[in-house]
Amino acid sequence: MRLFYHPAQMGHAPERELHNGDWVPFAESPDRLAQILAVCGGGEEARDHGMAPLEAVHDPDYLAFLRAAHDEWLAAGRQGDAIGYGFPIVRRRKLQFERIDAKLGAWSMDAATPIAAGTWDAAYWSAQAALSALDAIAAGDRHAFALCRPPGHHAGADYMGGYCFINNVAVAARAASAMGLGPVAILDVDYHHGNGTQDIFYEDGEVFFASIHADPVTDYPFYWGHADEQGEGSGEGTTLNLPLPRGTDWHGYQGALDQALEAIVGWGARLIVVSFGADTFEDDPISSFALQTKDFSRMARRIHATGLPALIVMEGGYAVSALGNNVAAFLGGFDV
Name the residues that contact ligand SP5, by CB under 6 A. Answer: 17, 19, 24-25, 27, 112, 151, 154, 162-164, 190, 192, 220, 277, 279, 285-286, 315-316
Q: Of 25 and 60, which CB lies nearer to ligand SP5 in the complex structure?
A: 25
Residue of 175, 35, 166 lying closest to 113 (CA atoms)? 166
Q: Given candidates 81, 110, 190, 219, which one binds Zn ion under the rule CB under 5 A?
A: 190
Q: Of 167 and 308, which CB lies nearer to ligand SP5 in the complex structure?
A: 167
User: How far is CA 63 from its chain centroid?
Assistant: 17
Q: Which residue is nearest to Zn ion (CB)?
A: 316
Is 192 near Zn ion (CB under 5 A)? Answer: yes
Is 277 near Zn ion (CB under 5 A)? Answer: yes
CB contact at 8 A, 238 and 260: no
70 labelled catalytic: no
Identify the active-site residue in 6, 154, 192, 213. Answer: 154
Give the range of 21-29, 37-45, 123-131, 313-321 binding Zn ion by CB under 5 A.
313-321
- Bond from prior residue into 7 cis (ω within 30 degrees of 0): no
Q: Of 114 and 277, which CB lies nearer to ligand SP5 in the complex structure?
A: 277
CB of 242 to Zn ion, least distance (A): 15
Hey, is 272 helix, strand or coil?
A: strand
Q: Of 84 and 152, which CB lies nearer to Zn ion in the complex structure?
A: 152
User: How far is CA 22 from its chain centroid?
Assistant: 25
Question: How close are the terminal C-alpha atoms of the chain, in Å?
Answer: 11
Q: Which residue is nearest to ligand SP5 (CB)?
A: 316
CB of 277 to Zn ion, least distance (A): 4
Residue of 137, 181, 130 lying closest to 4 (CA atoms)? 130
CB of 286 to ligand SP5, least distance (A): 4
Give the 3-state DSSP-derived string for 22-48, with helices as H, strands as E and coil as C.
EEEECCCCHHHHHHHHHHHCCCEECCC
CB of 322 to ligand SP5, least distance (A): 15
Give the burial class of 22: count Cβ atoms within 10 A of its Cβ; 0-12 exposed, 13-18 middle, 19 or more buried: exposed
User: How far is CA 64 from its chain centroid?
Assistant: 20
Q: Residues interacting with Zn ion, by CB under 5 A? A: 190-192, 277, 279, 316
| Active-site residue set | 154
